[in-house]
Amino acid sequence: MVLYKLEDFDPDYRDTIQGDDIKGLGVYTESNNEKIGTVNDVLVDDDGHFRYLIVDLGFWIFGKKVLLPVGRTRIDHGTDRVYAVGMTREQAENLPEFNERLSLDQDYEERVRGVYRQPTYGTQPLDTTTPLDTSTPVETSRTTDTRTTTSTPAFNRDTYKYEQEPSLYQLDEPHHQTLRLYEERLIANKRRQKTGEVAVGKRVETETARVAVPVERERVVIERVTPQDAGKVVSPGEADFREGEVARVEIHEETPDIRKEAVLREEVRVKKVVEQDTVQAEETIRREELDVNAPNLPIEER
């Protein structure tokens, strides 16, 4: 199976992965956070699946590069680190060197896989759900390490599938970053605030009031009349000739007696009422959509 460097496979891969470029990240051991090297590049297969990280061990060995299967990595974008699962610095030094000037064939891949299959590298057993190709005889190759010697089956180069060894090539979801799409939404809450104050008080105003009061006045009317028996002779004792006051008549009149009194005119009741209303509000919200840039490549979304 042909492998490609990431940029050769997709020149615009940085747009596809939305900026989370794995190149340049430091590679560390899980046990003691010891730096192994730096991710130099990524190798992908014909379907664009990550298969190997090319790790530059130049941190302490000048120029040496090795292959790290993606199934043996844990990528932490929060700390910009790649952790080599179950590997020590010494084991990284013993990996077969990757030479970019030489072709990456099945024989070289098998050498790399043979090292990772050793128990000291902590690789899990092969996937028994995918049977090995038994159409051709299975040869036995021995990969020697200074600490252990194991025998591992050699796979048919024409029928080998990466799915046969998930511990080497399957991304373990808890150990890798998930691209999360976020969106904004409007949250409607209410905030009580003072908008004003109503002061209710009293003031005294003056005006001129008018009232009509009917009054009575007395006056003396003197009438002179000629009696019917005018000219009649009266007896000597009847006529009383004298001077002075003859009659006294009292004269009265009414005058207005105006006074003021306070009376209750009205009551003013001050209270608050709550009115219900619906206020329409609008705001621009954002939402992230997945943007996959893989022209003319088979992409499956699930």
- pLDDT tens for the chain, 302 residues long, are 688 888 888 887 776 665 567 888 999 998 888 998 999 888 888 888 888 999 998 855 566 889 999 988 888 877 889 999 888 888 888 888 888 777 677 778 888 888 888 887 765 444 434 343 433 333 333 333 333 334 445 566 667 888 888 888 886 544 444 445 668 888 888 888 898 999 988 999 999 989 999 999 999 998 889 988 888 888 877 777 777 767 788 999 999 888 888 999 899 998 889 888 888 888 898 887 877 777 777 776 66
Identify which of 18, 177, 202, 218 has the alpha carbon closest to the alpha carbon of residue 82.
Answer: 177
Q: What is the pLDDT of residues 108-119, one digit of tens each?
A: 888 888 888 888
Report d(CA 155, CA 289) in Å as an integer: 42
pLDDT for residue 251: 92
Query: Which tokens go with 8?
Result: 């050769």
**Cα–Cα–Cα angle for 7, 10, 14, rounded to 5 degrees:** 75
The pLDDT score that the predictor gives to residue 247 is: 79
Cα–Cα distance list, 28 to 42, 43, 73, 115 (Å): 17, 19, 10, 19
3-state secondary structure of 68: strand
pLDDT digits (tens, 9 = 90+) for 153-176: 556 666 788 888 888 888 654 444
88 burial type by CB count under 10 A (0-12 exposed, 13-18 middle, 19+ buried): middle
Gap between the terminal Cα atoms of the chain = 25
How much is the pLDDT for 28?
Answer: 92
Q: What is the pLDDT of residue 181?
A: 62
